[in-house]
Amino acid sequence: MPREHWVAALRSALQCDLGSRSGWSLSEMRGRALLNLSERVTGGKRLQRVLPIPWEAASRQDIHTSVLAIHASFARGIPLDQCIALATGSASLEEDDSTPEDVVEPIQATDWQGLVAQYRDHKISSGLIKQTTWERTYAARMQRLVEATKGKTKPSTPRQLLELLTQRLKDQPGSRGRQVVVQQAAALLRWAVDNERLPQEWAPPLVLSSYTGRRREPKSVTTPIGVDDILLLVESIPDTRWRNAVQLLASFGLRPEELQHLELR
Q: What is the pLDDT of residues 205-249, one digit of tens each?
A: 888 888 888 777 666 666 677 778 888 888 888 888 888 888 888
Average pLDDT in the chain? 82
Q: Which residue type does 222 have? A: T
pLDDT at position 221 is 64
Q: What is the domain extent for residue 247?
A: 227-261
Checking if the pLDDT of 149 tops 70, the result is: yes
Same domain? 174 vs 162: yes
* Number of domains making up the chain: 3
pLDDT at position 133 is 92
Residue 123 lies in a domain: yes
Lowest mean pLDDT among 43-52, 64-73, 85-94, 246-255: 85-94
Among 123, 169, 119, which Cα is nearest to 146's?
119
Q: For the residues 193-211, what does the mean pLDDT come to? A: 85
The residue from 104, 138, 155 where one domain ends is: 104
- Could you read off the pLDDT of 166-186 as tens digits, one per residue? 888 877 887 888 889 899 999
Same domain? 162 vs 113: yes
Residue 48 phi/psi, 5-degree rounding, is -135, 140
Q: For the residues 115-131, what does the mean pLDDT come to? A: 91
Q: For the residues 18-25, what does the mean pLDDT come to? A: 82
Checking if the pLDDT of 98 tops 50, the result is: no
Sheet containing strand 32-37, strands side by side = 24-29, 32-37, 47-54
The residue from 58, 89, 104 where one domain ends is: 104
pLDDT band at 38 (very low <50, low <70, confident <90, very high): confident
pTM for this one? Answer: 0.46
The residue from 104, 125, 145 where one domain ends is: 104
Highest mean pLDDT: which range of 5-9, 36-40, 120-124, 198-202:
120-124
Note the helical H segments in 35-92.
39-42, 60-75, 80-88
Among 218, 219, 137, 213, which Cα is nearest to 175's?
213
